[in-house]
Amino acid sequence: MKSLTILSLLLQLIYLFNLCQALLPYPNSQNAFETIDQSAAEDLLYHTTEEWLEAESLTSSCSSCISALQLVKSLSYTSEALLIRTLTNVCKRTKKVSPEVCRGMMEEQVPIVRKVIKTMSVSGREGHLLCAAVANSCPYPDIEHWNVTFPKEKPSQPKQVRSSGDVMTVLQLSDWHADPDYQENADAICNEPICCRPDSTDYANVTKPASKWGEYTCDPPVKLIESMLKYIPTVEKDISFGIMTGDMPPHEVWSTLPFLKTQRIHDSAYALLHTHFDAKDKINALLYPAVGNHEAAPTNNFPISTNNLPLDEDRKYLSLEWLYKSLTRNWHGWLSHKKSNFYVQTSTGSYATRPLPGLKLISLNTNFCYTLNWWLYQRPAEMDPDGVLTWLVEQLQESEDIGERVWVIGHIAPGDSTCFHDYSNYYYQIVERYAPHVIVGQFFGHTHKDEMQVFYRGAQQTSSEAISVAYVAPSITPYFQVNPSFRVYKVDRNTFEVLDSLTYMADLGEANALDIEPVWHLEYSAKEAYNSSTAPITNASPLTPAWWHQVTEDMENHNDTFNKYWQFRVRLASQAPICEDECRANTICNIRAGKSELRCDYDSDVLMQTGRGDTSGIHACGWNLQGVRSML
């Protein structure tokens, strides 16, 4: 049976290749495509896309994905307008999203894709990487080996820092996604990526009117965010500083241009944050932000210095120079050091600063590991895009030399499924070198879920080998099917280790049902929720990586512990999917996956289908195969 399947696939590929060559030969001259049959090309691409989306095995899914890429690459040698028109029509014919979303997505993303795909070996590693990383449609290619270079060896007996007994409070906000177009009574059920907007509403046939405070299928109104910001100082009156781990604009990924539109959203969001963080009668603390994938326009696309950017005046916005200048301006007052501002504006959106004596905070632009950043597929590829990892090593070595502790913040956690395996592997090497004596905290966002990732020394995943933990904070936006939340850490003022993690939330469903303002409250304390005989901890002890590993062991042995984690993950939202044996095993595996190659939500064998899949949820900002099928 397997031989027949493979033979069938080979015949299909030969047919597609011959048809593609007949319709779309690679150009030998400037006029090679003057007589192209657009209708035939569109039909071919549509049917190939349908086969890909409907594929029931990884083998057929991979071949269909590669075939689709080959067609797009061939079409990329036509005019940009023709490619946009063809892909827009294919998108419309799938009837997965509205024609407006199809048109907007293609108009914004295709100019980048067209430029990048010409450099790619679609049938080689690059094509398989894109199909694996974006859609989980091919086996993930092996990592390109690179040993990160360190200035010094790891000290065998690093300097020990004693607890002071003094405790400080740090606030984490993440994934704001405020929607300026949110409108009360607009339809909360629609056929577009986000709802509750006039342009996605047929007011004569509203299925579910949007409430004034927000809906689980929508990004939030500013009113919900203001409610949260007003609540924070009533429960935490002495915040040492805050971190904001990215994503200010809404999920309007098909309409981010002109870039001034997105820039105005940034300006408005940060103005509101300054109002609350800079005022003595409000939060009254410095805020240190990181760059999210939605900060860019077009969404997700952060070029690096080696990218061959368009030179024409009307495409200068693709360099994102406007974004880095905007962030420098909006972060003024929080980042006062000139070197920090310079690096934000002229380089990568990353920076290092010192919130307190003895603590360095490094904010990384993790979009240079993001699988939906099309610029990263352009060849020749860089193992260390724009030298950010090399810069990170320099910063960590400086801190080690002077006995300083470090927190790393960013948007996309290195163990996330949307972080390239290669980049994640290199970052993991850095953590192994500098944790736990220098790196004492890592803080990310992006997934909209309340999660964590544990890092280990070597290949043994045991409590004795656990060296670091990355906290993935829950989102403020309720999109998709989660309750709005924020996070508070209790931190030792001398070691800068996390003593407890407190998550606050508001039950949006309750607020809407009772037609009242959301009631913000403490959802749980990590120390109280997970303290057990398997993972014992005292009031004075920090939440060490070893302890978090013991918590995962408790999850394996006790359903009650895992069920807590699963419900906390979505902040007790009633729409939480059921997670049974395989889902539970995969979820625990992913907690222990500080690098993305260790995750258990990839198919590892293209023929034998031995890989494990976790399709319990669709990533809010990225796609697995299920996500592509349901969202395209």
pLDDT tens for residues 543-576? 999 999 999 999 999 999 999 999 999 998 877 7
What is the helix (H) or strand (E) element at residue 489, kind and residue range? strand 485-492
**Residue 221, pLDDT above cutoff 90:** yes
Q: Which contiguous run of DSSP H or E holds residue 239? A: strand 239-244
DSSP 465: G
**pLDDT of the residue at 622:** 35
Lowest mean pLDDT among 82-96, 468-482, 501-515: 82-96
pLDDT at 141 over 50: yes
Q: Which domains does the chain have, with CATH numbers?
A: 2-143+618-631 (no CATH), 167-182+219-598 (3.60.21.10), 183-216 (no CATH)
Distance CA 217, CA 214 (A): 9
Look at residue 602 in the predicted model and tell me its pLDDT.
60
Q: Which of 154, 149, 127 is nearest to 138 (CA)?
A: 127
Residue 341's pLDDT band (cuts 50, 70, 90): low
Prior bond to 258 cis, omega within 30?
Answer: yes
Beta bridge partners of residue 287, listed in sequence order = 242
Residue 77 CA, chain-centre distance (Å), reads 31
Name which of 46, 99, 174, 63 is nearest 504 in CA terms: 174
pLDDT at 12 over 80: no
Q: For residue 342, name the pLDDT band (cuts at 50, 70, 90).
A: low
pLDDT at 13 exceeding the cut of 80: no
pLDDT of residue 53: 73
| Largest distance between two CA atoms of the chain | 77
Distances (CA, A) of 464 to 39, 351, 561: 62, 32, 21
- Relative orientation angle of helices 2-23 and 58-75, to the nearest 10 degrees: 10
Q: Is residue 300 annotated as involved in ligand binding? A: no
Query: What is the per-residue pLDDT for 169?
Result: 99
pLDDT tens digits along 433-464: 999 999 999 999 999 999 999 999 999 999 99
Mean pLDDT, to the nearest integer, of 38-57?
Answer: 79
Give the burial string for 318-335 (b: 16+ CB within 10 Å, else e).
bebebbbebbbebbeebb
- Between 81-95, 209-223, 305-319, 328-342, the lowest mean confidence (pLDDT) is in 328-342
412-423 burial, b at 16+ Cβ within 10 Å, e below that, comes to bbbbbbbbbbbb
- Between residues 346 and 442, which one has the greater pLDDT? 442
| pLDDT value at residue 20 | 43
Residue 253 is predicted with a pLDDT of 96
For the cut 70, the answer to whether the pLDDT of residue 33 exceeds it is no
Range scoring the smallest mean pLDDT among 16-25, 183-192, 340-349, 523-532: 16-25
The string of pLDDT tens digits covering residues 168-182 is 999 999 999 999 999
> Taking the CA atoms of the chain, what radius of gyration do you get in angstroms?
24
Quick check: 413 and 444 in contact, CB under 8 A? yes
Of 50 and 406, more confident: 406
Q: Is the pLDDT of residue 629 over 50?
A: no
Name the residue type at position 334.
W
492 is in an annotated binding site: no
Burial class (CB in 10 A: 0-12, 13-18, 19+), 464: exposed
Crossing angle of helices 80-94 and 38-54, in 10° steps, is 50
Residue 86 to residues 43, 236, 238, 419, 481, Cα–Cα distance (Å): 9, 54, 56, 30, 34
What is the DSSP secondary-structure string of 370-402?
Answer: BTT-GGGGSSS--SSGGGHHHHHHHHHHHHHHT
pLDDT of 627? 38
Q: How confident is the model at residue 348 (pLDDT cuts 50, 70, 90)?
A: confident
| Separation CA 260–CA 270 (nearest Å) | 15
- Over residues 493-519, the mean pLDDT reads 97
**HEC profile of 240-296:** EEEEECCCCCCCCCCCCCCHHHHHHHHHHHHHHHHHHHCCCCCCCCEEEECCCHHHC
pLDDT band of 347, cuts 50, 70, 90: low
Tell me, what's the pLDDT at 28?
41
Q: What pLDDT score does 111 carry?
A: 96
Q: The tokens of 509 are what?
A: 């469903």
pTM of the model: 0.91
Q: Residue holding tokens 């342009």?
A: 199
Q: Which of the 8 DSSP states describes residue 153?
A: P
- Lowest mean pLDDT across 145-149, 579-583, 603-607: 603-607
The answer to whether residue 32 scores a pLDDT higher than 90 is: no
Whether 190 has a pLDDT exceeding 50, the answer reads: yes
pLDDT band at 10 (very low <50, low <70, confident <90, very high): very low
pLDDT the model gives residue 613: 34
pLDDT at 350: 94
285 burial via Cβ count (<10 Å: 0-12, 13-18, 19+): buried
| pLDDT surpassing 70 at residue 99 | yes
Q: What percent of the chain has pLDDT over 90?
A: 78
Q: Which of 293, 200, 188, 211 is nearest to 249 (CA)?
A: 293
pLDDT, mean over the chain: 89
> pLDDT-based confidence at 49, cuts 50/70/90?
confident
pLDDT interval class at 40 (50, 70, 90): confident
Is 448 annotated as a binding-site member?
A: yes
Query: Has 411 been labeled as part of a binding site?
Result: yes
Annotated binding residue 294? no
619 is in an annotated binding site: no
Mean pLDDT, rounded, for 161-190: 97
Q: Is 145 flagged in the annotation as binding?
A: no
